[in-house]
Amino acid sequence: FESVPTYPKADRNWQIVEQYKVNIFYTAPTVIRSLMRESIDLVNSHDLSSLRLLGSVGEPINPEVW
């Protein structure tokens, strides 16, 4: 993957999880921090019921993100 995770829209990750019924999703804490600045409505507007595990990779995760 080579791009900005919030391009073209900030809910790009959640669209992919919903569309492909992703059940394990790993991402960097930096991505989670950038998504935290967005409205919670971006998350709530998607069916994420397939998601079983959200993993953190690539760098230490701070308590606010955890």
Q: What is the SS3 string spanning the chain? A: CCCCCCCCCCCHHHHHHHHHCCCEEEECHHHHHHHHCCCCHHHHCCCCCCCCEEEECCCCCCCCCC
Tokens 């507007």 appear where?
45
pLDDT, position 25 = 95
pLDDT tens readout for residues 19-65: 999 999 999 999 888 888 898 998 999 999 999 999 999 999 888 88
Query: What pTM value is reported for the model?
Result: 0.81
In 3D space, the residue among 31, 34, 21, 27 whose CA is nearest the CA of residue 56 turns out to be 27
Whether the per-residue pLDDT at 18 is higher than 60: the answer is yes
- Walk me through the domains of the chain, giving residue ranges and CATH numbers: 1-66 (3.40.50.980)
What's the pLDDT band for 3 if we cut at 50, 70, 90? confident
| pLDDT tier for residue 2 given thresholds of 50, 70 and 90 | low
